Amino acid sequence: MSDRITPSKLTENDVEMLKRIAWEGGAFEALEYGIEVGVFERPELKRLWEALSADFASFRLKEMVLEALIEEIE
């Protein structure tokens, strides 16, 4: 993200979605809950959330592989 996002650049919808993410307990929990990329209006926030979503999906896949291995050895 090259452009810094400041509160003055946020739309009302973006602010509400950021508050929702905070209410969920943060980005990790919001990603677990399934908040979608399209909820943001600012392109920078959409790209940021899309990148976090991809990282989260990669993490979950790796976590599932480890959990399956742990199950096999128990």
Higher pLDDT, 6 or 2: 6
22 within some domain: yes
Instruction: Say whether pLDDT at 1 is over 90.
Output: no
**Residue 4 located in a structural domain:** no
What's the pLDDT at 36? 79
Q: How many domains does the chain have?
A: 1
Instruction: Give domain status of residue 2, yes or no.
Output: no
User: What domain range is 61 assigned to?
Assistant: 11-73
Q: What is the pLDDT of residues 29-56, one digit of tens each?
A: 999 988 876 789 999 999 999 999 999 9
Question: Considering the chain, what is the average pLDDT of its residues?
Answer: 90
Answer whether residue 25 is part of any domain.
yes
Is residue 53 assigned to a domain?
yes
Cα–Cα distance, 30 to 21 (Å, whole number): 6
Tally: H helices and E strands in the chain:
3, 0
